[in-house]
A = this chain, B = another copy of it.
Amino acid sequence: MDGTQIDQVRRFNRTVTERVGVLHGHYLGRGRPVGEARLLWEIGEQGQDVRRLRERLGLDSGYVSRLLRSLEADGLVTVEPRPRDRRVRTVRLTDAGRAERAALDRRSDELAGSLLEPLNAAQRVRLVAAMAEVDRLLTAATVALDRVDPDHPDAQHCLRSYFTELRERFETGFDPARSLLPDAGGLRPPHGLFLVARLHGEPVGCAGLKLPPGAPAEVKRMWVAPHTRGLGLGRRFLAELEARAAQHGFDVLRLDTNRALGAAIGLYHSYGFQEVAAFNDEPYAHHWFEKRITSVPSE
């Protein structure tokens, strides 16, 4: 990361907060405090529990409560206890609330339009493409990789999605029972670990690592949610797993994969894996890969 890059990022921040920020306050603020507008937005068409709103917006419970009272007084929302658990309260938009939300929506469109308006068609295309790129890369930078137990709900969610996808993509379908699965404890310390990637708290990918004593480390069950592909997450998982395997003193990382997973195979090649002879008899595998890594035993 060099000084020129930092300077460019700072220039970008200044220009963007100036242009977008000023217009944002100007358009969206009209007549309604930003806090209320955000809330109105976050409630959505089907309503939300108050606690969830609080989490999503990261606000104090007292503050949210007060905002809701104000929206309620304006007739934009109704707040009712959830039948099953009457401590939890559910917020729903009234018709007036829906109308107000649509108005916000329109203003948001106007704001976007006013950024493009002074430009000619060619410039618009370039601006939008550059914005998409910035958007994608900033999003990528927001994804967090955390080690969790494979039984954690987020891990389970990813694994279910992973199996579903394999079932759809493998020519032969996929039955976890037929596959060489690590035993229950295989992906938790001390002989393994499991990572999930999260974007705004939602799980969007996973990867497991087997650390068998006396054998090479092995990547298992790497999966990235379709809507977050193209952010370089697969590569980041590999780098993280490689670093962790190295920390545990391993000097070879390997994995097997199915020929239907073309993008993954491309990734393994470009990340420095070499194709090797079959090192196991996984029935769903067509390719086996291996990479020498630099062991860095922790002291």
Contacts and interface: CB of A to CB of B under 8 A. Distances in A.
Interface of A: 1, 4-13, 15-17, 19-21, 24, 108-109, 111-113, 115-120, 123-124, 126-135, 137-143, 232, 235-236, 239
Nearest to A1: B116
A112 B133 CA distance: 17
Nearest to A22: B58
Given A118-B140, A135-B15, A139-B15, A9 B128 contact: yes
Contacts of A239: 120
A28 to B, nearest CB: 10
Main secondary structure of the interface of A (DSSP, over half): helix
14 contacts: A1-B117, A6-B109, A6-B116, A9-B131, A12-B134, A13-B111, A16-B16, A19-B142, A115-B141, A118-B141, A118-B142, A119-B140, A127-B133, A131-B134
Given A5-B124, A17-B21, A134 B134 contact: yes
Copies in the complex: 2
Contact of A24 (B17, B24, B141): B17
A225 B232 CA distance: 40
A130 B128 contact: no
Given A10-B108, A127-B134, 16 more contacts: A1-B116, A4-B128, A5-B128, A6-B113, A9-B112, A11-B131, A12-B135, A16-B134, A16-B138, A17-B21, A115-B141, A118-B141, A118-B143, A123-B137, A123-B140, A127-B137
A229 to B, nearest CB: 15
B9 A115 contact: yes
Nearest to A3: B109
A135 B1 CA distance: 19
B20 A13 contact: yes
Nearest to A116: B1
Nearest to A115: B9
Contacts of A4: 128
A131 B8 contact: yes
Contacts of A10: 108-109, 111-112
Contacts of A17: 20-21, 24
A1 B126 contact: no
A174 to B, nearest CB: 31
Given A117-B1, A124-B1, A112 B6 contact: yes
A15 to B, nearest CB: 5
